[in-house]
Amino acid sequence: MIPPEFEYHAPTTLSDAVSLLNELGDEAKVLAGGHSLLPMMKMRFAEPAHLIDLNKIDQLRGIREEDGLIKIGAMTVENDILDSALLQQKASLLPKAVKLIADPQVRNRGTIGGDIAHGDPANDHPAIMKAMDATFVIAGPDGERSVKAVDFFHGTYMTDMAENEILAEIHIAPLPANAGTAYVKLKRKTGDWATAAAAVVLQMDGDKVAMVRIGLTNVADMALRATDAEALLVGNTLSDEVLSKVVQAVTAICDPAEDLRGDAEYKTAMAGEMTKRAILQAAGKLGE
C-alpha cells in the first residue's frame, strides 16, 4: 500500500511549521511519528495534499524540569519517555504506561504529542494526561495558548485545537514523593489498543486516601476522568465496600463502542476491574 501523492514540507522551526499550516489550511496535515497518519493515508482515509513533517524541529523534543514543572516536547518519542530518569522519579505514571504502548520499534517513532493530538479515544496518553492533570501548550498563528487536558478532548478525533494549530508542549506538575501511580491495561496482544485501561495517581494519608485522580482509556468517545469515583475514595480506606462503590461509579460513566475486543457490557465491566487493580497497585497493595 502506497499513500496518495502529496507535497512534503520539513520546517525546522515551530513558527515556520505554524505559518505553513496556516497558509495551506485544511489541505495540509501535520506529520509526527506517522504511525496513525501514514496507515490512514495508505488506506485513503486521509488524503492531505500537503504533509508538514515536524521531525526536523528540535525545539519540539525533550523532557526538562523548569519553573517547578516538567515540560515534555510534543515530538518526544515514547522510548525517550520510557527511559527518562526525571519522569521515572517525578511522574512515574508516564514510563509505566508507555511500556504498555505499542512495541519497541513503534515507540522509537511514535510521539506523545501525536498520540494526544490525534484525538483517538483508544490512544493511551489522553487518559494518562487527565490522571496527571496535564496542561497542553498549543501554538497557532496568534501565538501560544494553554488548555487543560480535561478540557482538550471533545470526542472521537475531535479536540480543542483549530486546524491551524500545533500541539507544542505538555506541562505536568511533579508528583509528591509519596504518590503512587499505576496504569493497568487489558489488551489482547502486544501493540493492541486497550479493551479497557485505567490510569491512577494516588496519595495516601495513613490508611486513608488523601488525593486521587483516575483516567480511563477506550471506554467512551474520548478518554474519561472518573471524578465521581475519585470523590468516593477521598477520605476513605481502600475497603472492599468502598472499592465496589468506586467500580460502580466508574462503570456508570462508560459508554464504549462494541468491536472485536468485546461488547459494551464486557468493556464496561473491564473498565471497573482495571480501575480497581490500578488503585490497589498505586497503593502498593497489588503487584504489577
Partner 1 sequence: MGKKLVSMNINGRKVEEAVEPRTLLIHFLREQMNLTGAHIGCETSHCGACTVDIDGKSVKSCTHLAIQCDGSDVLTVEGLAQDGVLHAVQEGFYQEHGLQCGFCTPGMLVRSYRLLQENPNPTEEEIRAGISGNLCRCTGYQNIVKAVQYAAKKLQETATA
Binding positions for partner 1, rule: CB under 8 A: 1-8, 10, 34-35, 38-39, 42, 51, 53, 55, 79, 102-106, 108-109, 190-191
User: How would you classify the pairing of strands 7-9 and 50-53?
Assistant: parallel
Going by C-alpha positions, the residue among 282, 229, 281 that lies closest to residue 254 is 229
Nearer to partner 1, 111 or 268 (CB): 111
- Closest distance between partner 1 and the C-beta of residue 20, in Å? 15
Task: Give whichever of 42 and 64 is closer to partner 1, judged by the CB atom.
Answer: 42
- Residue 82 or 209: the one with the smaller Cβ distance to partner 1 is 82
Please say which residue, 50 or 71, places its beta carbon nearer to partner 1: 50
Distance of closest approach, residue 189 Cβ to partner 1, in angstroms: 9
Q: Give min distance, CB of 32 to partner 1, in A.
A: 12
| Neighbouring-strand partners of residue 50 | 7, 28
CB of 12 to partner 1, least distance (A): 12
Residue 61: CB atoms within 10 Å: 17
15 or 108: CB nearest partner 1: 108
Nearest approach in angstroms of CB 255 to partner 1 is 28
